[in-house]
């Protein structure tokens, strides 16, 4: 989805870019068969109309005032219409190295 016309204000969308974090514990062991590693997940976003200009977290373009865009629930991360998707991307797990 790259055209703003496909965005509906208030709808849930996801970032195309994955954010990586270190994970460990029983749930990770049960799900992935190892005690820890890195997990890349998309941001869950809400479509909003920009009250002011923002910078896209992914491609670094300017999101102009009045444009529809994706924003995190906390409001601190912004994605332009080209960097969001209505289909949730799969998370990716990379097992850690054994100690």
Predicted pLDDT of residue 75? 83
For residue 67, CA distances in Å to 72, 92, 93 come to: 16, 31, 34
Query: What residues in the chain have per-residue pLDDT under 50?
Result: 1-4, 99
In the chain, domain spans: 4-17+43-89
> pTM, whole model, 2 decimals?
0.80
C-alpha to C-alpha distance for 47 and 73, rounded to whole angstroms: 10
């Amino acid at each position: 989805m790259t055209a703003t016309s496909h965005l509906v204000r208030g709808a849930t969308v996801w970032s195309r870019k994955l954010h990586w974090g270190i994970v460990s514990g029983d749930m990770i062991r049960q799900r992935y068969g190892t005690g820890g590693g890195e997990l890349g997940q998309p941001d869950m976003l809400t479509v909003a109309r920009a009250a002011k200009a923002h910078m896209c977290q992914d491609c670094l373009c300017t999101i102009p005032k009045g444009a529809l865009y994706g924003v995190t629930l906390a409001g601190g991360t912004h994605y332009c219409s080209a960097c969001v998707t209505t289909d949730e991307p799969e998370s990716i797990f990379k097992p850690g190295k054994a100690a």
